[in-house]
């Protein structure tokens, strides 16, 4: 064999394929305790014990070779060698959850019919043991006619055996292809039950813990209360825990700006460095602690298995608007960023429901909005307590998230009545066992988010901010004229201001929303940059929040917040929506309805707040 052998990881959702992939290749693909984490193929390199390289592909989980959703289609095509530009895998590693053997065996049996070299990785054997389940792997191997290796992917256990077994099957032993091809799912069901019963040596009640917890967490009254409490705690923590680290970053930023001012000669570069980069980009980076706290919670929810329960609780509510709880997970991941959220919609089988989910995903409050919200809340909402442990700032932040969700519900409702009319699918999702989150995984997840955010700050946010600084600094205004109005950027903003003035936007806001199309956070750095450029000597170095509080009225600030709840201020999201819907039609629908909603709601907010005399 010349080419590097290709091995594919397949199996039911949430079996631990990606965990195994990461353990074998050293990759850091996303792992989570809910079905549908992986929605596209990922390839990596691993080596057998004799050093021979292998190309390993991780695939989306699927229950059978009859795909019902776009992500499952990928798996089927790769396994059957029908994927364009990809070889037929030389061997399959079928990952099965040992504590859910009967269900997972069905797919193993269907795959065995292909007559391809394969091994079964009986994963999560630790969980099976915890449940008091004992499985005879040799008996299972004999019954299936393929090698069976027990593994604990998250603890890297069983990998040596797996590599040895893989070396064996790659050398040529393959399962005897059955005489007749079965396609009746009930046949697999019966076979799976029989083989599982033979292989399981001991099986007590099992899953007692998970069932006990679920009795409370899924309770019709207690369940939603718990969910609301979890969310509230999360938003309180974003404020309560971030104060000190934000102070450190601000301290560092101030020190950098002062040092640059003290040591660099007064020229163009010094202004660019201080006003554009240190203050501009710094005004965004300051929010790193809050973003990390938010992700800490999201990662915990994903890893423990609570996420799917939340989806389950939301299902009834969502079916009212023609979506199932299935859509909840892509929507929840959109809290991080709409891009993975829109991609996660691949796990939804009903095409109309999937499209609806894609179209409303940008309404979920992504982490790029957090800096915008946080700076305005910090400037305009007093940090007072409104109840035991409940601060007003956290409550307002929670309210903005809720506003996005309500907007999404309304949009889904309208879409399901019109453009994507149709019946919603039912909620069919396995409830995974509760797991203790691995601290390492949570830390890696947070590190990845931090890195992603800082990279964004150092590239796109910095690039756009510097470009804006240039456009806002030139041509130099004559004495007595405001630089931010005289400059190129200022003149463009004046044009836009005509449209935005009725909803309470001022000149700086009009100036900030254009570059913020590249990335929402730029709205913050743009405002900071404009104020730095215009600053009098006594305002120089003032924090952005203080400047906003001094210059904007409360209705104006609220209108800006309302705008950011709805406005599709993100080119990458639009690009991904185009890719996922294969055309421009739906992204354009998305842009139009979101901008219209942003305009209308910012206007309503402004006029209501003004009428109330705020």
Dihedral Cα 341, 302, 63, 190, nearest 10 deg: -160
Q: Which of 7, 14, 339, 358 binds ligand GTP (CB under 6 A)?
A: 14
Report what 19 binds from ligand GTP, Mg ion, none; CB cut-off 5-8 Å by kind. Answer: ligand GTP
- 100 near ligand GTP, judged by CB under 6 A: no
Near ligand GTP in 58-77, by CB under 6 A: 60-61
User: What is the distance between the alpha carbons of residues 195 and 553, in angstroms, rounded to a whole number?
Assistant: 71
Number of neighbours of residue 345 by Cβ within 10 angstroms: 30
> Considering CB distances under 5 to 8 angstroms, the limit depending on partner class, which of ligand GTP, Mg ion, none binds residue 523?
none
Cβ burial, residue 592 (10 Å; 0-12/13-18/19+): exposed
Q: Is 333 exposed, middle or buried (0-12, 13-18, 19+ CB in 10 A)?
A: buried
Give the number of residues in contact with Mg ion, rule: CB under 5 A.
4
Q: Out of 36, 362, 424, 555, name the contact with ligand GTP by CB under 6 A.
A: 36
Q: Is position 361 an interface residue for ligand GTP (rule: CB under 6 A)?
A: no
166 within 8 A of 7, measured Cβ to Cβ: yes
> Could you tell me which of 101, 36, 104 has the C-alpha nearest to residue 72?
36
Residue span binding Mg ion (CB under 5 A) among the ranges 29-37, 314-322, 360-368, 391-399: 29-37
Q: Does 283 bind ligand GTP (CB under 6 A)?
A: no
Nearer to ligand GTP, 33 or 528 (CB): 33
Closest distance between Mg ion and the C-beta of residue 27, in Å?
11
Residues 37-76: x/- map of binding to Mg ion (CB under 5 A)? xx--------------------------------------
Pick the piece of the chain touching ligand GTP (CB under 6 A) from 25-33, 78-86, 137-145, 386-394: 25-33
Q: How far is the CB of 612 from ligand GTP (least distance, A)?
A: 48
124/286 with CB nearer Mg ion: 124
Give, rounded to a whole angstrom, the gap between the first and last alpha carbons of the chain: 76
Q: Pick out residues in 300-359 that bind ligand GTP (CB under 6 A).
A: 303
# binding residues, ligand GTP (CB under 6 A): 25
- Name the token pair of 481: 């004229």
Name the strand (E) or helix (H) holding 42.
strand 42-47
Residue 398: which of 531, 230, 194 has the closest Cα? 230
- Picking from 503, 467, 540, 491, the residue whose alpha carbon sits closest to that of residue 254 is 540
Q: Whats the size of the chain, residue-wise?
A: 614
Partner whose binding site includes residue 35, from Mg ion, ligand GTP, none (CB under 5 to 8 Å by kind): ligand GTP
Give the residues across from 6 on adjacent strands. 55
Note the maximum CA span of the chain.
91
Query: Could you tell me the smallest distance in angstroms from the CB atom of residue 74 to Mg ion?
Result: 12
* Residue 282 engages ligand GTP in binding (rule: CB under 6 A): no
From ligand GTP, Mg ion, none, interface partner of 41 (C-beta below 5 to 8 A by class): none
DSSP label at residue 178: P
Q: Would you count residue 42 as binding ligand GTP (CB under 6 A)?
A: no
- Tell me the residue number closest to ligand GTP, measured at CB: 61
Piece of the chain touching Mg ion by CB under 5 A; list 31-39, 67-75, 139-147, 364-372: 31-39
- DSSP letter for each residue of 209-257: HHHHHHHHHT-TTHHHHHHHHHHHHHHHHHHHTTHHHHHHHHHHHHHHH
Task: Name the minimum Å distance from CB 48 to ligand GTP.
Answer: 21
With CB cut-offs between 5 and 8 Å by kind, which of ligand GTP, Mg ion, none does residue 15 bind?
ligand GTP
Is 123 one of the binding residues for ligand GTP (CB under 6 A)?
yes
Residue 152 is a binding residue for ligand GTP (CB under 6 A) = yes
* HEC sequence for 531-570: HHHHCCCCCCCCCHHHHHHHHCCHHHHHHHHHHHHHCCCC
Task: Starting at the earlier edge strand, list the strands of the sheet with 6-11.
Answer: 42-47, 53-58, 6-11, 91-97, 118-123, 148-150
Per-residue tokens: 83: 């994927």
Interacting positions 417-456 with ligand GTP (CB under 6 A): 435
Site for Mg ion in 4-23 (CB under 5 A): 17-18
Strand partners, 272: none
> Strand 91-97 and strand 6-11: pairing?
parallel
**Cβ 508 to Mg ion, closest distance in Å?**
45
Q: Which of 601, 609, 521 is nearest to 565 (CA)?
A: 601
* Token couple for 224: 């939603």
Q: Does 510 bind ligand GTP (CB under 6 A)?
A: no
Residue 565 within binding range of ligand GTP, rule CB under 6 A: no
Binding of residue 19 to ligand GTP (CB under 6 A): yes
Question: Where on the chain is the footprint of ligand GTP (CB under 6 A)?
Answer: 13-19, 31-33, 35-38, 60-61, 123-124, 126-127, 152-154, 303, 435
Residues that bind Mg ion (CB under 5 A): 17-18, 37-38
């Amino acid at each position: 064999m010349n080419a590097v052998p290709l091995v594919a990881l397949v199996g039911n959702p949430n079996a631990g394929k990606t965990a195994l992939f990461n353990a074998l290749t050293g990759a850091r693909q996303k792992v989570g305790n809910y079905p549908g984490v992986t929605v596209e193929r990922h390839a990596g390199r691993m080596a057998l014990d004799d050093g021979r390289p292998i190309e390993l592909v991780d695939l989306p989980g699927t229950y059978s070779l009859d795909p019902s959703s776009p992500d499952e289609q990928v798996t089927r095509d790769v396994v059957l060698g029908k994927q364009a530009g990809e070889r037929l895998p030389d061997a399959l590693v079928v990952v099965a959850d040992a504590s859910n053997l009967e269900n997972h065996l069905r797919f193993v049996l269907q795959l065995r019919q292909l007559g391809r070299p394969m091994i079964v990785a009986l994963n999560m054997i630790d969980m099976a043991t915890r449940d008091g389940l004992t499985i005879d792997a040799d008996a299972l191997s004999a019954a299936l006619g393929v090698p069976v290796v027990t593994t604990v992917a998250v603890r890297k256990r069983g990998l040596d055996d797996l590599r040895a077994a893989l070396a064996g099957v790659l050398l040529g032993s393959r399962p005897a292809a059955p005489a007749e091809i079965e396609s009746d799912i009930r046949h697999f069901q019966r076979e799976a039950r029989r083989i599982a019963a033979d292989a399981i040596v001991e099986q007590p009640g099992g899953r007692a813990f998970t069932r006990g917890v679920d009795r409370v967490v899924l309770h019709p009254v207690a369940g939603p209360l718990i969910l609301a409490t979890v969310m509230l705690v999360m938003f309180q923590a974003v404020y309560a825990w971030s104060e000190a680290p934000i102070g450190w970053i601000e301290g560092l930023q101030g020190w950098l700006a002062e040092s640059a001012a003290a040591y660099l000669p007064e020229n163009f570069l010094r202004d660019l460095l201080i006003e554009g980069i240190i203050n501009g980009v710094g005004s965004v980076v300051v929010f790193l602690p809050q973003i990390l706290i938010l992700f800490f919670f999201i990662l915990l929810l994903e890893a423990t298995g609570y996420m799917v329960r939340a989806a389950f609780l939301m299902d009834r509510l969502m079916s009212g608007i023609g979506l199932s709880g299935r859509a909840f997970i892509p929507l929840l991941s959109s809290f991080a960023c709409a891009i993975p959220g829109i991609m996660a919609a691949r796990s939804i089988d009903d095409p109309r429901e999937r499209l609806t989910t894609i179209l409303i995903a940008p309404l979920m409050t992504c982490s790029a909005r957090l800096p915008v919200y946080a700076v305005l809340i910090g400037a305009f909402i007093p940090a007072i307590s409104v109840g035991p442990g409940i601060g007003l700032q956290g409550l307002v932040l929670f309210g903005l998230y809720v506003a996005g969700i309500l907007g999404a519900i309304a949009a889904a409702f309208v879409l399901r009545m019109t453009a994507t009319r149709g019946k919603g699918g039912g909620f069919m999702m396995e409830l995974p066992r509760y797991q203790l989150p691995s601290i390492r995984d949570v830390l890696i997840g947070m590190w990845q988010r931090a890195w992603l955010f800082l990279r964004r700050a150092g590239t796109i946010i910095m690039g756009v901010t510097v470009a804006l600084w240039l456009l806002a600094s030139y041509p130099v205004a004559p004495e007595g004229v405001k630089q931010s109005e005289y400059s190129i950027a200022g003149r463009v903003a004046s044009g836009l201001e005509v449209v935005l003035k009725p909803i309470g936007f001022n000149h700086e806001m009009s100036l900030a929303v254009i570059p913020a199309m590249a990335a929402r956070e730029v709205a913050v750095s743009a405002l900071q940059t404009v104020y730095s450029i215009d600053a009098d000597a006594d305002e120089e170095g003032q924090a952005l929040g203080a400047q906003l509080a001094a210059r904007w009225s409360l209705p104006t600030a609220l209108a800006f917040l309302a705008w950011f709840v709805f406005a599709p201020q993100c080119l990458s999201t639009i690009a991904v929506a185009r890719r996922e819907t294969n055309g421009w039609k739906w992204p354009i629908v998305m842009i139009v309805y979101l901008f219209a909603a942003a305009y209308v709601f910012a206007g309503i907010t402004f006029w209501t707040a003004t009428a109330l005399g705020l």
